[in-house]
């Protein structure tokens, strides 16, 4: 049996990769798709090196099985193409995540969004290597040269992160903030959240809870309501590394209850919407009361000992949600003192503004944290939010921020 069948399979997949469309509405998305295309082609180069090595190796009875395994490797790349290049989630969702990375990190070109079975985060290297080469020994003729190691090192240096979203949620704008949680998985150590584990009970899912506390403090009530909305329609079971979704919701709901205990801690209409959101979340949690009861004491302990340290970590980079939204309102009040002809250029958009424009169907260039937190009342959580409005609003926000940066440069 000849190795030609292997090389022909790789040539076919290589041609398929090169045919993938990489043009997008935004240059920053196009660049990422082109990088992914380049990475997939590099993986095919690695597979080809393995095939050439085994071709020169003295193997007899196992030869057909090796040829079969190597041929199938091309499928690993090919099967990943639709998830990346035909992803249905609006490109404007990148604006939501880029806003996070702008505040917490030094860039955002290293990730891409893809269809998935759930919300999760993986690197391209881990995804491809884990599904193909992880359990295969490098062919002996290749080992002395180190050629394979050099190519793998090159791929690692150019690696990208894939943030998968539940493919059934691509048009559910309320669920999009759940991607922020996946971003924090990648930033977990960078943000110092791992240093808080020593304060907590030893649990395999401690990172999940700490990330939820952090994200809720950063993104505000909208994150907890996103969890509730998702759990309402898609009950999830726990795994070894992930607590049940109801436990994560309980963690984030504690933040909302803290806000509700401090009258007027948030500007209207958020202060009244919080009560509405808690009522909705309580309805969802009632279905999962038994699950929550099992870990309630541990989660309460984790929340209490890490609430302040998490906020301190957040303040090193940006403003927690409560401070951010209060600042928005303060700026807005000051701008109202300007002459009316200056309003369009100096406008600061609040929760009230978003809701007012939403009701008349006009997208508005509000910060993602303002935009999503406008829709935390039961009315929107039960009936949903017009995804087109949110998409166009994020687009307006991106354009506005672009021109602001141009004006400062």
Q: What is the pLDDT of residues 319-335, one digit of tens each?
A: 999 999 999 988 888 88
Please name the residue ranges forming H helices in 86-134: 93-104, 124-131
Place of tokens 């937190």: 373
Residue 158 pLDDT greater than 70, yes or no: yes
Under 8 Å CB-to-CB from 157, ≥6 apart: which residues? none
Compute the distance between CA of residue 56 and CA of residue 49 in angstroms, rounded to an integer: 11
Mean pLDDT of the 266-292 span: 84
Q: At 307, is the secondary structure helix, strand, or coil?
A: helix
3-state helix vs strand vs coil in the chain, percent to 5: 70, 5, 30
List 122's β-bridge partners, or say none: 162
pLDDT score at 240: 43
Sorted by where each begins, the domain ranges of the chain are 4-170, 172-409
Cα separation, 119 vs 184, in Å, equals 12
Helix (H) or strand (E) holding 114: strand 111-116
Q: Taking residues 356-383, what's their average pLDDT?
A: 93
> Taking residues 353-368, what's their average pLDDT?
94
The Cβ of residue 235 has, within 10 Å, a number of other Cβ atoms equal to: 14
Look at residue 236 in the predicted model and tell me its pLDDT: 59
Pick from 265, 245, 268: nearest CA to 255 = 265
Q: Give the model confidence (pLDDT) of 289-325 as tens digits.
A: 888 888 889 999 999 999 999 999 999 999 999 999 9
What are the angstrom distances between the C-alpha of 320 and each of 175, 221, 243, 316, 365?
Answer: 21, 12, 25, 10, 21
> Which of the listed ranges 11-25, 46-60, 127-141, 237-251 does the model predict with the highest average pLDDT?
11-25
How many angstroms separate the CA atoms of 372 and 394, rounded?
Answer: 10
CA angle 354, 358, 361 (to 5 degrees): 140
Check whether 345 has a pLDDT greater than 60.
no
What average pLDDT does range 347-356 have in this prediction? 89
Q: What are phi and psi of 163, to 5 degrees?
A: -100, 110
Residue in 20, 55, 52, 66 with CA at minimum distance from that of residue 39: 20
| Residue 188 predicted with pLDDT over 90 | yes
**What is the rounded average pLDDT of the residues 136-161?**
77
Q: Above 80 in pLDDT, residue 404?
A: no
The count of C-alpha atoms lying within 13 angstroms of the C-alpha of 42, restricted to the half-sphere facing its C-beta, is: 23
pLDDT score of 233 more than 80: no
Q: What percent of the chain has a predicted confidence (pLDDT) above 70?
A: 93
In tens, the pLDDT along 63-100 reads: 888 888 888 888 999 999 999 999 999 999 999 999 99
More confident residue, 157 or 243: 157
Mean pLDDT, rounded, for 231-256:
73
Q: What is the pLDDT of residue 8?
A: 94
Residue with more model confidence, 135 or 361: 361
**The pairing of beta strand 161-166 with beta strand 111-116:** parallel
Q: What is the pLDDT of residues 95-111, one digit of tens each?
A: 999 999 999 998 888 99
Q: Quick one: what percent of the chain has pLDDT higher than 90?
A: 52
């Amino acid at each position: 049996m000849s190795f030609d069948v292997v090389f022909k399979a790789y040539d076919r997949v290589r041609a398929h990769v090169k045919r993938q469309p990489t043009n997008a509405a935004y240059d920053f998305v196009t660049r990422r798709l082109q990088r992914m295309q380049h990475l997939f082609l590099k993986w095919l180069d690695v597979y080809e090196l393995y095939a050439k090595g085994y071709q020169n190796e003295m193997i007899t009875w196992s030869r057909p099985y090796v040829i079969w395994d190597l041929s199938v490797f091309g499928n690993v790349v090919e099967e990943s193409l639709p998830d990346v290049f035909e992803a249905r989630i609006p490109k404007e969702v990148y604006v939501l995540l880029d806003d996070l990375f702008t505040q917490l990190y030094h860039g955002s070109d290293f990730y891409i969004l893809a269809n998935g079975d759930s919300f999760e985060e993986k690197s391209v290297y881990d995804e491809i290597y884990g599904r193909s080469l992880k359990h295969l020994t490098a062919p002996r003729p290749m080992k002395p040269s180190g050629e394979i190691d050099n190519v793998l090192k090159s791929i690692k240096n150019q690696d990208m992160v894939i943030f998968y979203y539940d493919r059934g949620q691509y048009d559910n704008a309320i669920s999009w903030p759940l991607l922020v949680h996946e971003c924090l998985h990648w930033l977990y150590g960078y943000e110092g959240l791992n240093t808080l584990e020593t304060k907590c009970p030893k649990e395999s899912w401690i990172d999940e809870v700490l990330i939820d506390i952090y994200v809720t403090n950063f993104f505000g009530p909208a994150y907890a309501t996103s969890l509730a909305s998702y759990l309402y329609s898609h009950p999830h079971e726990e795994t070894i590394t992930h607590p049940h979704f109801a436990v994560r919701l309980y963690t984030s709901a504690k933040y909302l209850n803290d806000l509700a205990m401090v009258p007027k801690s948030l500007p209207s209409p958020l202060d009244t919407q919080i009560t509405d959101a808690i009522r909705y979340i309580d309805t969802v949690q009632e279905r999962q009361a038994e699950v929550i009861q099992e870990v309630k004491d541990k989660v309460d302990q984790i929340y209490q000992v890490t609430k302040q340290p998490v906020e301190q970590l957040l303040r090193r980079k940006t403003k927690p949600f409560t401070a951010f939204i209060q600042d928005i309102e303060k700026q807005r009040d000051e701008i109202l003192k300007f002459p009316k002809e200056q309003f369009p250029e100096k406008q600061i958009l609040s929760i009230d503004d978003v809701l007012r424009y939403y009701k008349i169907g006009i997208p508005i260039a509000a910060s993602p944290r303002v935009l999503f937190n406008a829709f935390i009342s039961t009315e929107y959580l039960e009936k949903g939010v017009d995804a087109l409005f949110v998409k166009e609003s994020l687009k307006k926000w991106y354009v506005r921020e672009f021109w602001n940066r141009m004006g400062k440069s």
